[in-house]
Structure 1
């Protein structure tokens, strides 16, 4: 496993697109969060909403870049034919796949942490009149939202890796992942039945997972924060199992 991890890390750090996507994730998340915080209408009594979630709004664009990175890690090898070299050097396909997942988890954890902390800092700087407590990491709910958002980004990366391994094609994989993340919530809003809306909110990977960011009005959520993140984890696990099984059973 050590050699497999070294090989995957070497491939990732020597590909320019991976570095730019990671840097783009940090920049995009902090920038969008800063813009969201700057345009909100605040009064002395507050901003009329969840300021922690507002400061973490950049995740809506950051997750797309993480998904693209995860897809390219495996589908790029299929398109170039390098996957044959990878599997020849590491005949145990499960080991090779696990190494990719661990490497992806590590880089997304680092970049995601920087992006999330930068977003919270931007919120504190732009919304200073609201007091520090709402955006203080000493507050349990805020800390849960920050830590959970990093975990969410990791899970989106693993979900994308699993789908890309199963599908192989970059464009198709990216389309499937982004559809799951963005189109399903849009469809949910077009449904008039509130029970169906609540059900889709509980099972969609983004809608459920991002409940981890909520720090106010928790009783009105379709699913509790940690349970919602567990739903996203279930999606990621299913995708990884499907991708790993197909990798082992079919030709490269």
Structure 2
């Protein structure tokens, strides 16, 4: 009697996992494509990001040389609002299924729960990267034409916004990655707590209440430390293009902090998804 070799067993297992992942990816993409709310939420995120960025660019003036404003960050201010919609979009990918009971069908079709979570994360991240890229590019394009009318001119030390400029390119790329990480953070939290409303509250609290709490702290050193670990404050440091030494945390290090939050949430969500019945 002959037995399958270890290599053959590993190849079979690998092939099965890839087949399950492919099936799960197709299923998640179909859900995203056919769910009207998902498309509307992504369009709303783009619209709010661009609208708030344009409004900020129109509102802020630079009457003299050295007015101390960061033109790139002004144009990308809308990311701080668009992220709330991205949070809702990502949470509903899991929370919505728990609310309707569809999660049982999903886990029956693909029993490997980590495969399901991987597929959801891949589809959601891809969608957010695409919509986020559009929102950031349009925001910068609008800022390029609005800001000079408010004094952000070469005479005042501001060149037109351009992706050919290294710091501007870093801010643009970082903003897109920031939104993708926010989506993964929201997905991980939603998988862990299962309830959509609870997950949205937790993520929005981390994003918007953390900076408020930081401002209540009067000790400058503690305030700086809190800013270094706050998901939004640290993550959005990647948008800064002026006075980098004065930041609580560097641009890429700040984005790394947000990545750590997202990874922790996904890890917790994955572990709990495997241990629970549903």
Q: Deviations over 1:44-82 (max 9, x none)?
A: 536531000000000111000000000000000001000
Rg: which structure is higher? 2
Q: Would the aligned equivalents of 1:52 and 1:134 in 2 still touch at CA under 8 Å?
A: no
- 1-structure distance, mates of 2:271, 2:173: 31
What stretches of structure 2 of length at least 5 have no aligned partner? 1-20
- 2-structure distance, mates of 1:16, 1:133: 41
What pairs up with 1:59-208 in 2 under 5 angstroms? 59-128=79-148, 130-131=153-154, 133-208=159-234
- 2-structure distance, mates of 1:166, 1:48: 43
- 1-structure distance, mates of 2:67, 2:119: 44
- 1-structure distance, mates of 2:223, 2:62: 30
Match of 2:18 in 1: none
Match of 1:245 in 2: 271
- 1-structure distance, mates of 2:160, 2:261: 31
Match of 2:32 in 1: 12
Aligned residues: 252
Q: Deviations over 1:162-198 (max 9, x none)?
A: 0000000011100000000000101101111001110
Q: Would the aligned equivalents of 2:144 and 2:161 in 1 still touch at CA under 8 Å?
A: yes
Q: Deviations over 1:114-141 (max 9, x none)?
A: 0000110110110235257351101100
Q: Would the aligned equivalents of 1:134 and 1:142 in 2 still touch at CA under 8 Å?
A: no
Normalising by structure 1, what TM-score?
0.98
Q: Would the aligned equivalents of 2:62 and 2:69 in 1 still touch at CA under 8 Å?
A: no
- 2-structure distance, mates of 1:134, 1:79: 48
Normalising by structure 2, what TM-score?
0.89
- 1-structure distance, mates of 2:22, 2:64: 55
Match of 1:235 in 2: 261
RMSD over aligned Cα, in angstroms?
1.1
- Quick check: 1:223 aligned with 2:249? yes
